[in-house]
Amino acid sequence: MKNILFAILLFSLAASAQPKYEFRAVWVATVENIDWPSTKHLSADSQKTEFIKLLDLHKQNGMNAIVAQIRPAADAFYPSPYEPWSEWLTGTQGKAPDPYYDPLDFMIKETHKRNMEFHAWLNPYRAVNDIYHSSVAPDHITKTHPEWFLVYGEKRYFDPGNKEVQEFVTKVVRDIVRRYDVDAIHFDDYFYPYRIPKREFPDSVSFSKYGNGLTKDDWRRSNVDSIILKLSKAIKEEKKYCKFGISPFGVWRNSSKDSLGSETQAGQTNYDDLYADILLWLRLKWIDYVAPQLYWEIGFAKAPYEVLIDWWAQNAYGRHLFVGHGFYRTLENRVGPWKQASEIPNQIAMLREYKEVQGSIYFSSKSFNSNPNGWNDSLKNNYYKYPAIVPPMNWVDSIKPLRPTILYDSMAISFKDSIGITINSNPASVKPASYIIYSFPDLRGINITDAKKITAIINSSDNKYFYSLKQIPPGQTRVVIAITSLSRTNNESVLSRYIYLERKIEGWKVVNIPANR
C-alpha cells in the first residue's frame, strides 16, 4: 500500500511541477525501416509526408527534439561524398531518391520549423547489417577498403583498432557538421558489438599490430576512447555550438566487478563488453550529454530503473543527463509492469526528483502511433502540458541575446478574440533562434521561472504572433504579455516591455504599457 501511495504522490507532483528547462526527445530509427520511412520503397513525396506527420505527433505530445538516425550502416540519408545512399531510403544502397531531394536537409528544416532541435544519430562501426541479405553498393567502403572490416555474427563491422578507420569515421562526422545545420551529433550504444556466446571478436591481427603492450581489453577501450576524443575535437572545430552526445547501454559496470559500479547484475556492460568507458568521457568533458538506455522497469531485479537513475545522477560529472525510456516495451508480447499505465509516468516523476537529470529520450517513434497505455495523453495533458526549453549548456555558450521589442496592433480599439503582436529582434544582437511568449495574471504575478506562464515557444522566423484571448479564464480581468529571445544555444534574454490588457465590457483593451526595465 505504501508503494502505491508513493507512486500516486509522484504522479501528481510531477504532473503539476513541470520544469521550465527539460529535454524531451524521441529516437527515430531508420535501420530496417523501424520508424521512418515505413518501408524502403516509398516515393520521395510519401517519405516527406510521413516525416511531417511524425514530427507533428511528437510536437503535439510536448517534445522539443528529435534524434534521427542518418547513418545506420556506413550509408547515408543525405548526399555524402564518402558513403552511398542508404538501402532503407530507396530499397537499393547507392540509389538516390527519385525525384531527387536531400532527406537530411528536409528533416532538419522541418524540425527547426517546429522549434525542435535536430540531433543527428550515427552508428559508428556497423558497416553491413546483414552479410547475407543487405544491399551493398559497388562503391561502399567495405568494397573499396575490405581490409578495414571484420565479420562477427551476421554483420560486418569496422575494425575499431584500425587507425585509418578512426580517421575515416571522423571525416564523415566532420562533413555532416560542416554542411548541415544539426544541433548535435549523437552516437548510440554500439561500439564494439555485444558479445556472441562462445565467439570472440576477430581483431587479433590489429591487436598484434597496435596493442603496444596493453591487455586486449585495455587496448579495445583505448581504441574507443581515441575515436571519441577525435570526434569531440572535430565537432567543436567545425561548430562550437554543435553538441556531442552518447546514448550508452544502461549499465556502465556491475558493482561485483568495480566498487564504482551500480548495484546491478547485467549480463553485459559498457566497460567490460562494449569497451566504452563512458565515465572517462564524462570526466574529461569529451561529450556534452549522456543518455543511458534505462529500458528496464522500476523494481526490475537485475537492473532496477530506480537504482540506475540514482547511479547515473551521481556520475554525470556536470554534463547533461537524459534518461532513455523503453517506451516500446509495452508493445512486447508480455505481461507485467509495461502493461501498467503508471510505469512511464512514474519514471518521469522519479527523474524529476534529481537536479542532475535534465530530461528524457523515448525509444522509439513508432511506439507512439497507437498511444500505448494512454501515454501520449499523459504526456500531452499532464507531464508535458506546458512547453519546455532545451536546457542550455554553459560550457558551450553562456551569452544571452538582447531582449526583443514588441508592438501590438494599435489600430484595434478593442480585442475580442486575439491580439496581434509583432516581434522584432534587437539589431545589435545575433538573431535569436526562438521567442518565448509569456502571459501573467497581473504585474505582481510576473515570474518567468514558472513553466505554467509560458504560452508558446515559436521560431524566430515567425515575427507575428496572435495571442488568443479566449484562453484567459473567465474570472481574470487583467493579462500581462511579455516576450524573451532565445539563442541557438538556449540562453534566454530578459523580458521585453509588457503589453498590459484589461477586460472591459466591449472587450479587452491595452490600458498601459509600463516603462519597465
Q: Is the pLDDT of residue 174 over 80?
A: yes
Last residue of one domain, picked from the residues 383, 414, 431: 383
CB 311 within 8 A of CB 262: yes
Do both 78 and 119 map to the same domain?
yes
Do both 368 and 445 map to the same domain?
no
DSSP string, 357-375: EEEEEES-GGGGTT-GGGH
**What pLDDT is attached to residue 412?**
57
**What pLDDT is attached to residue 13?**
53
**What pLDDT is attached to residue 232?**
98
Question: Average per-residue pLDDT in the chain?
Answer: 93
Do both 379 and 311 map to the same domain?
yes
Do both 213 and 283 map to the same domain?
yes
CB 396 within 8 A of CB 490: no
Q: Is the pLDDT of residue 320 over 50?
A: yes
Our measurement of the distance from residue 443's CA atom to the centroid of its chain's CA atoms, rounded to an integer in Å, reads 36
Q: Is the pLDDT of residue 261 over 50?
A: yes
Q: Is the pLDDT of residue 65 over 80?
A: yes
Q: Into how many domains does the chain fold? A: 2
Do both 451 and 373 map to the same domain?
no
Q: What's the one-letter identity of residue 151?
A: V
Residue 171: CB atoms within 10 A of its CB come to 13
Q: Which of 448, 462, 422, 433 is nearest to 516 (CA)?
A: 448
Pull the grid cell for residue 12.
Answer: 501528481
**What pLDDT is attached to residue 4?**
41
**Residues of the domain holding 66:** 2-383
Helix runs in 180-215, H state only? 204-210
Last residue of one domain, picked from the residues 383, 416, 443: 383
Do both 178 and 258 map to the same domain?
yes
What CATH number should be reported for the domain holding residue 364? 3.20.20.80
Q: Give dist(CA 433, CA 461) in Å, integer.
A: 8
Q: Domain for residue 399, yes or no? A: no
Length of the chain: 517
Q: State the pairing for strand pair 357-362/23-28.
A: parallel
**What pLDDT is attached to residue 248?**
97
Q: Domain for residue 395, yes or no? A: no
Do both 430 and 347 map to the same domain?
no
Q: Give dist(CA 441, CA 37) in Å, integer.
A: 45
Q: Domain for residue 400, yes or no? A: no
Please write the tens of the pLDDT for every residue from 109-164.
Answer: 999 999 999 999 999 999 999 999 999 999 999 999 999 999 999 999 999 999 99
**What pLDDT is attached to residue 8?**
45
Do both 330 and 300 map to the same domain?
yes
Residue 380, CB half-sphere, CA atoms under 13 Å: how many?
12
Please write the tens of the pLDDT for every residue from 216-252.
Answer: 999 999 999 999 999 999 999 999 999 999 999 999 9
* Cα–Cα distance list, 17 to 269, 313, 449, 450, 451 (Å): 35, 20, 11, 9, 8
Classify the C-alpha dihedral 94-65-395-490 as positive or negative: positive
What CATH number should be reported for the domain holding residue 458? 2.60.40.10
CB 321 within 8 A of CB 355: no
Do both 337 and 435 map to the same domain?
no
**What pLDDT is attached to residue 7?**
47
Do both 237 and 364 map to the same domain?
yes
Q: Domain for residue 361, yes or no? A: yes
**What pLDDT is attached to residue 168?**
98
Residue 332, CB half-sphere, CA atoms under 13 Å: how many?
13
